Amino acid sequence: MNFNLAVILRETAVALPGKPVALYAGGQLSYGELDALSDRLAAGLRAAGIRPSETVAVQLPNIPQFLIAYFGILKAGGVVVPMNVLLKAPEVAYQLDNASVRLLITWEGVLDEAAKGAAAAGVSEVYAVGHTADGGHAMPFERLLAVSPDGPELAPRAPTDTAVIMYTSGTTGRPKGAQLTHMQLYMNADIPGRLFDVRPDDIVITVLPLFHVFGLSSILDVCVRFGCTMSLVPRFDPAAVLEAVQRDRATILEGVPAMFISLLAYPKLDDYDLSSLRIAISGGASIPAPVIDAFEERFGLLILEGYGLTETASTTTFNISESERRVYSVGKPIWGTQTEVWDSGGHPLPAGKDNVGEVVTRGLHVMKGYLNDPEADAAAFTGGWFHTGDLGYFDEDGFLFIVGRIKELIIRGGYNVYPAEIEDVLHAHPAVAEAAVVGIPHDRLGEEVKAVVALRPGASVTAQDLIAYCRERMAAYKYPRVVEFCDALPRNTLGKVLKDELVPH
């Protein structure tokens, strides 16, 4: 039996050939067209010497060519290596070399850095979308579509064969390549798609980067598996997202907390008709409780929160629906998985808000391991479970709550302080647009609590005002003693706050 993940496209294209798989500024792409074009790309890769199990990197924004490249590589039996479009040449070179990439598909907008990185890694086969002339740093992407396939392409793959090598964000040390298999990615499209209640008539705002596991697994794979339509937005901008919702009558909005915060703060929000939306889904980081409350009150639209990591092919837990969710929780473990909370000695903790420990998980969703990194594997899979590095607890009904990262835990005078708890309080202040809390060195206490805050446009508040506000709402050992202001918090491409940049070194 063939377990090639690209079967999700083939089956949907047979059933719904004329249905749009993607809408974008200036056009649309149907399932039948995507199936035919990815067949051609698979044939082009074979003609370029790519054989099953060899790696092909894709460094593209959310444009139709990403879809063509992704499914074309899978159909050829290759392994997809999605790469961030913002990488600089040394970062490109590292990932290409680490994954033994044979061929790079990139974009004219980042070609200079991509070409330098490819040259440093010894990758001579570079194709660029938007590049029109042969020679120089790259060949036109269309060259890969010039070969007519002998017939439908779908190279045989086993369930445990690697389909995607997805690099972690590299917040500690070098990025690591998580090896995600055909079966893991299929299950993480099929099961969450059913939980999301995705329908063929849904139109999903696709602004999350497809080169990130959230966008790739929870949007692209889910949409293709269930035959719905993506509204492609190449980069996050509140106006671009709102315009796409209104233009395409989108029904599902998937995002990270930073996106929901930005949308709420957008001054022209009321100029757009968002009545087509039926649900919002948040992941990538814990969403502050006040943001959930404000968003749901403003739009009359539920935000269902989930939790997952690159190493778990995206979804680990999820809130199913309005009637089966727990507000501020990331939900319950999905089918085929187990998730527990352990103490520092590796023992499962009972339910309860006071029983915070490390979240560990195992099951169909967990990667087969890091590429070429047995030491990282040994550390991550201690005791046969994958250790997430996240801190959380279960309530008595089995709902998981995430309170922070182990490495972000602040120990002030012997007391554990969880940044997310303080950030929730700060986000509830009417002058605060966004906030991040970190620990800073302190001679007597070990660590002191520091908050970095960006204010809403036109708002004014002092550091002492915010300290007093927090002091009234939490225990004395928790509230921040230091408050700094900034125009905007530093974030990566997915919208996660780069807290390392907020700590003095």
Q: Tell me the C-alpha distance between 500 and 502, whole Å.
A: 5
DSSP run (H or E) holding 282 = strand 279-282
Distances (CA, A) of 240 to 117, 207, 272, 469: 31, 9, 11, 35
Q: Tell me the C-alpha distance between 237 and 2, whole Å.
A: 40
Q: Which pLDDT value is given to residue 416?
A: 86
Q: Which pLDDT value is given to residue 74?
A: 98
Q: Which pLDDT value is given to residue 173?
A: 64
> At 48, which amino acid appears?
A
- CB-side exposure of 268: number of CA atoms within 13 Å? 9
Beta strands in 6-46 (DSSP E): 20-24, 27-30
**What is the SS3 assignment for 408-444?**
HCEEECCEEECHHHHHHHHHCCCCEEEEEEEEEEECC
Residue 170 gets the label, from left (phi > 0), alpha (psi -120 to 50) or beta, of left
Residues 487-499: pLDDT tens digits?
999 988 777 888 8
The SS3 of residue 274 is: coil
Rg (CA), the chain: 23
Residues 322-335: pLDDT tens digits?
778 888 899 999 99
Q: Which pLDDT value is given to residue 390?
A: 93
pLDDT in tens, the chain (505 residues): 789 999 999 999 999 999 999 999 889 999 999 999 999 999 999 999 999 999 999 999 999 999 999 999 999 999 999 999 989 999 999 999 999 999 999 999 999 999 999 999 999 999 999 988 776 779 999 999 999 988 777 999 999 999 999 998 654 568 899 999 999 999 999 998 888 789 999 999 999 999 999 999 999 999 999 999 999 999 999 999 999 999 999 999 999 888 998 899 899 999 999 999 999 999 887 788 888 999 999 988 889 999 999 999 999 999 877 778 888 899 999 999 999 999 999 999 999 999 999 999 999 899 999 999 999 999 999 989 999 999 999 999 999 999 888 988 898 988 889 898 899 999 999 999 999 999 999 988 889 999 999 999 999 999 999 999 999 998 899 999 999 999 999 988 777 888 889 887 6
What domains lie within the chain, and their CATH numbers? 7-17+29-179 (3.40.50.980), 185-406 (3.40.50.12780), 409-502 (3.30.300.30)
Tell me which residue of 153, 133, 151 sits closest to 143, measured CA to CA.
Answer: 133
CB-CB contact of 410 with 450 (8 Å): no
Q: Tell me the C-alpha distance between 196 and 321, whole Å.
A: 8
CB-CB contact of 282 with 288 (8 Å): no
Phi, then psi, of 145 in degrees rounded to 5:
-100, 5
Q: Tell me the C-alpha distance between 33 and 28, whole Å.
A: 10
Q: Tell me the C-alpha distance between 441 and 458, whole Å.
A: 33
CB-CB contact of 232 with 20 (8 Å): no
Tell me which residue of 333, 334, 331, 352 sits closest to 343, measured CA to CA.
Answer: 352
